[in-house]
Amino acid sequence: MLIPLVVVMGLLIGSFLTVVVDRVPRGGSVMAPPSACGNCGLRLGPIDLVPVLSWLALGGKCRQCKTKIGIEPIVIELATAAIFTIFALKFIDDLVSALPAFCIFGATLVAQSWIDLREQRLPREITFWGAGLGGVALTISALVIEEPERIWMSVLGAAIALAIIGGIYLGANWRYGKDVAFGFGDVILAPFLGLFLGWINPGIVAPGLFFGFILGTLAAVPAMIAKKADGQTAVPFGPFLAAGAVVAVFVGQHFVDLVLAR
């Protein structure tokens, strides 16, 4: 029953994230006012807020004024449910106590990736909330499985990620100018990623960041070839760091073992 429960929770949390990604970048509160149509002001009720089903039933339009609301809600809800599910499959056997923490991890990455793709920024308050809640959940999980050493492993992972990304950021700014490589939001996001990767194994933090750089390069090169981007074009890097970290959760240790030939 765990997987269906995780899917439902993912859809519900994803529904909440649609509010987060809309309001936080504008400096708004996620608690008030209640959700409403941005065009006609219709206050959304239960019939409008059922994840996925409401969007499908209403054809992606406001129930009253029929204004299109876009695909953002359904994409975020499905993406959150998907990442919750793959983490459940990862931790369901022997580390199920870590699942709540990694669901917080996944939800934070979904929200930040969407905002970065849309606005090319990573609101630090989302990263801080994710790190705070996730850090508590990781600590509880470490104590539940009687492996308290994972607490300092998390701290070490965060320090490693900050040192790597922060070092690149400072070096690039010194050599080329401010925010040429990536923005300061990416620097703040890095220790958040390291916190979770370090809990698994601090040794997979660097590979996780490496995967992010590789994915970012693979995405940027085709655009440059098509002359839609050049060396100075701003590319949202947060989603690639996020994707690299998720990849590292699953294959980071295998990658390290392969590199070390063991």
pLDDT recorded at residue 228: 57
Q: What is the pLDDT of residues 132-162, one digit of tens each?
A: 999 999 999 999 999 999 999 999 999 999 9
pLDDT recorded at residue 229: 53
- State how far the Cα of 49 lies from the Cα of 63, in Å rounded to an integer: 11
Characterize 23-32 residue by residue with b for buried, 16 or more Cβ atoms within 10 angstroms of its Cβ, and e for exposed.
Answer: bbeeeeeeee
| Closest to 90 (Cα-Cα) out of 196, 162, 195 | 196
What SS3 class is residue 178?
A: coil
What SS3 class is residue 68?
A: strand
- State how far the Cα of 41 lies from the Cα of 62, in Å rounded to an integer: 10
Q: What is the pLDDT of residues 101-119, one digit of tens each?
A: 999 999 999 999 999 999 8
The confidence band for 233, taking pLDDT boundaries of 50, 70 and 90, is low
pLDDT over 70 (residue 231): no
What is the full DSSP assignment across 110-154? HHHHHHHHHHS---HHHHHHHHHHHHHHHHHHHHHTT-THHHHHH
| 105 contacts 94 by C-beta, under 8 angstroms | no
| Closest to 142 (Cα-Cα) out of 134, 154, 150 | 150
Higher pLDDT, 180 or 92: 92
Query: What is the rounded average pLDDT for all residues in the chain?
Result: 88
> Which residue has 């793959």 as its token pair?
86
Calculate the alpha carbon distances from 91 to 50, 103, 252 in Å: 28, 11, 15
pLDDT over 90 (residue 131): yes
Identify the H or E element spanning 71: none
Q: What is the pLDDT of residues 239-252, one digit of tens each?
A: 999 999 999 999 99
As beta bridge partners, residue 43 has: 36
Sequence spans of domains, the chain: 1-93, 94-262
Q: What is the pLDDT of residues 27-58, one digit of tens each?
A: 888 888 778 777 777 788 778 788 888 888 88
pLDDT recorded at residue 177: 67
Characterize 93-125 residue by residue with b for buried, 16 or more Cβ atoms within 10 angstroms of its Cβ, and e for exposed.
Answer: eebebbbbbbbbbbbbbbbbbbbbeeeeebbee
Q: Which residues contact 130 (CB under 8 A, 6 or more apart)?
A: 104, 105, 107, 108, 192
pLDDT over 70 (residue 185): yes
